[in-house]
Structures are given as C-alpha cells and as structure tokens.
Amino acid sequence: MKRSMVVAVSVLACVVGGSAVVLGQGQGTLHEAAGRGDVAAVSQYVEKKANLNAADSRGYTPLRLAVDAYSIEVVKILLDGGANPNAKGSDGVTPLMAASISGQKDVVDALLAGKADLAAKNQSGWTALYCAVMMGQAEIVETLIKAGADVNATDSSGQTPLAVAQRRGNAEIVEILKQHGGTVPVSQDQYGAYGAGGMETSPVVGTVSQLPVDFVIDPNMIREQLRKVGALDAPLKAVDANSESEQRAWAARRSDNRTLLLRAVQKQFEDEMKFVKQVAVTEKAAKTIKAVDELVAARQNRYEHIGDELREQRRQTLQESRDTMATGRGRATTSRGTGRGRSSAGGYTGAAGQDAYATTTQTRTPRRPVAEVNEPPINADTQTQAQAWLAAQPESKGELLKTSHELDVIEYARLHEFAVEENAARTDAAIMGLLMVRAERIAKIEQKWMEEDERMQRMQERTGATGMQGTQPGMQQGTQQGARRGRR
C-alpha cells in the first residue's frame, strides 16, 4: 500500500516517529515486536497475558506501533487480545487517527470494529475524519462518515473538515462532505480575536496555493534517497542545527515575540534555500536555481508585508491603550467639583470634555492603512499568512505553525518538481531532506509546548490554584503578578 503524505504541522508531529518505525524504548520486546509487525512474537505475548496497553517513552502502545508498522495482522491480534483502541500517545493521536492519516483502510475498518472512538481529538482538536480530510483520503473519509463521524466537528481554531477540504482544493472530498451535511464556519473577524483587528488591507489577488495531489513525503524513502546520492547528511545536519534560534522563538510563550519569530523564520528559510541552491549549482539545474531565486524574492516581500502589519497592529494596540488610560484620567478629574477640572493636556475641561478654548482634550490617531492606495494587490498566500500571524497569541502558536508549514511544503514541492524535471537527483534529495528534518523540528516544538503545559498544570495543583483550570499557559503567572501589584 502506498504510504500517504505527511503535510500539516500537527500531522507531521503525529507520524514522523511512526513512519520511521522507531521502536518503543524501555518497555520490553512486545513493543519491539509490534513495531516490526512480528505476528508470531506478538501472538505469544497475547497468550501470556502481557500488558497490551503499556506505553513506551512517547506514550505509544503496541497497538499504535502496529498501526505505524502497517501491520493489519498484528493490529487484529492486539484488538482481539483486549488492546485499548483509544489509547493516545503523547502527541494526542489515537490509532484510528494514525491509520486515517496513513491511508490504511483495512486498519481503519478493524479499529472501528474494535469500538474506536470517532469523536476523539488530538492536541489540535482534530478527529480521525479531520485527519483523513487533511491527507486527502477520500475512501477513509466515506468510511468514517458511514460509521457515524461528525462531519462538522471543529478543530481548536474553529475550522471544519469541509473548510479544510476546500482550502486544499480536493473536489472529491468536498462533495462527499457536502452530501453528508458538511458546512463551513462563518469567520467572525478578519484577523481573529488577538490584538487590534479590522485593519485596512490591500485587495487580495489569486487563490491560495494547493499541494500537488501526488506529492509524497515518506521519511524512509527520503533516507534511502539521501543514501543513494551521498555526501548530503553533514550539510543537511548543519542547516538543521542552525534552526535552534527559530525553535526557541516558536517555543517562547510568555510574551508576544512575533516580530522576533518572523525574523527567525525568515533566516532559517533563507539558510535552507542557500543550501538547495548550492547543490543545484553543482548539478547545473538552471530551472531549479531560477525557481529558488524567485521563491526567495517572493518570501522577502511576504515577510516585509507581514512585518509591516505586525508593527501596525502593535502601534494600534498601544494607541488604544493610551486612549483608554487618558480617558480614565479625564473622567477622574472632571468628576470633582462642579464638573470643571483639569484636562490631561493642562487646560480646563467643561461638561462636554473640551477645554476653555473649545479644543478636544483627546485626539485619536487615525488608523493607517497597511498598504498605500497605489500599492499593488497582495497575493492570497501572503494574505493568508498575514492573517495567521496577526491572529496568533503568544501562548498559542499552534495554528500559526500549522499554516506556515503547510505553505512551506507547497512551495518546496514546486522546487521538487523542477528538480525532478531536470533529473537533479542530489538537489531533489536536498529538498526532500529539508522537509523531513522540518517535520522532526515541528515535533520537537510541539513536544516542548506539551511539556510546558504539563509543568503549568503541576504548578497549579501544587499551589492549589483552584479556578485556574482552562487558562492558557503563561497566563497564570501574569495574573498572579497583577494581583501582587494590586495588593501593594
């Protein structure tokens, strides 16, 4: 069975270990046998009443490892032996989600027969149906819907499976979902709830880019590709090692660091493109070199646009904060005596909030349009990215990471097509290798987020912070500091 592509941020984090069939650690040979798809060995452990739901260092049970090993036989043996079909790994993914991602229809059927939970969600709020839609698995989408999956279950950002299918341009899945009552949520705000919204923007041209249907990312295939061309492992590791600053910027969740994060993301992208171009030059892959140069130029324009919008959002937020504080001071002064008092500008205010010379005490700086009137329209990809950056909250960058990486994969896939067309095997291996290590980095970032969430939860439990459940990471600390300032 052809293994399906791993694309989105959280999907990549879910399967990057499984695709390489990394064996469980410290849990004995049952996990190893399941990870190998060893029917005889797993059967022996089932007969000996071994613990079929023990988790390895990543929270994976033998059943999850069997799914990742594409072994329907071992999956059935474990289910018949009493394995829990709904056990989640540390990534929040159930065996049914993993099978839906990788396109294993027979495994999906077996798990559904074993009472797998269709409503279970991972850390991004994705159900198995959502995962199948993300990966373009039309047959599995139909199977899950017939089994009772909620076609309108939303993820953590409020998106439905139909919205995802439309964004990816998958007409077949769009039709399936619509036939079963799939809907698209109505956006309440152009930029989301965080910070100043509703800013003027340039008109958008074009449509959002879509990933080629036949583009596949398989870590095992990529490693074999790298082995064949040789001499790329060391420079690939060097480029990946330079991503530490980007990883730290993604992991930071205590304050708004989006401007710094944008610069870190830009630098890492440029380092990766420099690596690809160097390899392409040695192979004289002219079309690929030209495509790299064009992509770098387009990205520079995109990052500049996003940076401008982030700075404008920050300026507006600060201005609104100043206006609010000034208004509060003005009310406090005019409430004394007969209704006349000093304004913040030093004059005397009357009941209408004006000074003795009939000038207003507060002037609101008008919002500056992000783009000038004569500026050319921005493309849909840049607009989508800008919206994601403007809506991202410091403590919750998951949706931004997913949106950013999805476009990275699409644009790298274009470079891959040029390299294949020119028979530039080493260049193509470099491109695919970068995608593989990117997936691994994303898994690390999400793991850090999860560990921080767990630390915050333990801290709340130790301090007896009742009533704090549901707060975002990093918010409790700010609340406690504010309370201390108030007591002072």
**Does residue 147 share a domain with residue 239?**
no
Find the domain containing 318 and state its range.
219-323+369-460
**Does residue 153 share a domain with residue 77?**
yes
159 pLDDT band, cuts 50/70/90, is confident
- The reply to whether 476 falls in a domain is no
Give the Å distances, CA to CA, from 200 to 79, 206, 309, 368, 372: 56, 19, 10, 8, 10
User: What single-letter DSSP state applies at residue 386?
Assistant: H
Residues 355, 348 contacting (CB under 8 angstroms): yes
pLDDT of residue 57: 81
With a cut of 80, say whether residue 486 has pLDDT above it.
Answer: no
Give the Å distances, CA to CA, from 168 to 135, 171, 207, 263, 300: 10, 9, 11, 27, 24
Range name among 35-44, 52-61, 268-277, 325-334 with the lowest pLDDT average: 325-334
Q: How many domains is the chain partitioned into structurally?
A: 2
User: What are 214's two structure tokens?
Assistant: 């036949």
Residue 157's nearest CA partner among 384, 474, 477, 476 is 384
Query: What distance in Å separates the CA atoms of residue 183 and residue 174, rounded to the nearest whole number?
Result: 10
Mean pLDDT of 12-32: 48
Q: Name the pTM for this structure.
A: 0.51
With a cut of 70, say whether residue 3 has pLDDT above it.
Answer: no
**Does residue 145 share a domain with residue 250?**
no
- The reply to whether 197 falls in a domain is no
CATH number of the domain residue 58 falls in: 1.25.40.20
- The reply to whether 482 falls in a domain is no
- The reply to whether 362 falls in a domain is no
> Of residues 169 and 385, which shows the higher confidence score?
385
**Does residue 84 share a domain with residue 23?**
yes
**Does residue 253 share a domain with residue 148?**
no
Give the Å distances, CA to CA, from 339 to 32, 325, 381: 80, 20, 54
Mean pLDDT of 392-400: 83
- The reply to whether 357 falls in a domain is no
- The reply to whether 105 falls in a domain is yes
- The reply to whether 423 falls in a domain is yes
**pLDDT per position as a tens digit, 234-268:** 999 999 998 999 999 998 888 889 999 999 999 99
**Does residue 271 share a domain with residue 166?**
no
Residue 129's nearest CA partner among 106, 110, 107, 154 is 154
**Does residue 291 share a domain with residue 240?**
yes
Residue type, 64: R
**Does residue 306 share a domain with residue 164?**
no
Residue type, 225: Q
**Does residue 249 share a domain with residue 168?**
no
Range name among 294-298, 313-317, 347-351, 456-460 with the lowest pLDDT average: 347-351
Residues 310, 292 contacting (CB under 8 angstroms): no
**Which helix H or strand E contains 379, and what residues bound it?**
strand 378-379
Residues 352, 228 contacting (CB under 8 angstroms): no
398 pLDDT band, cuts 50/70/90, is confident
Give the Å distances, CA to CA, from 439 to 326, 351, 460: 48, 62, 32
**Does residue 230 share a domain with residue 175?**
no
Mean pLDDT of 69-78: 94
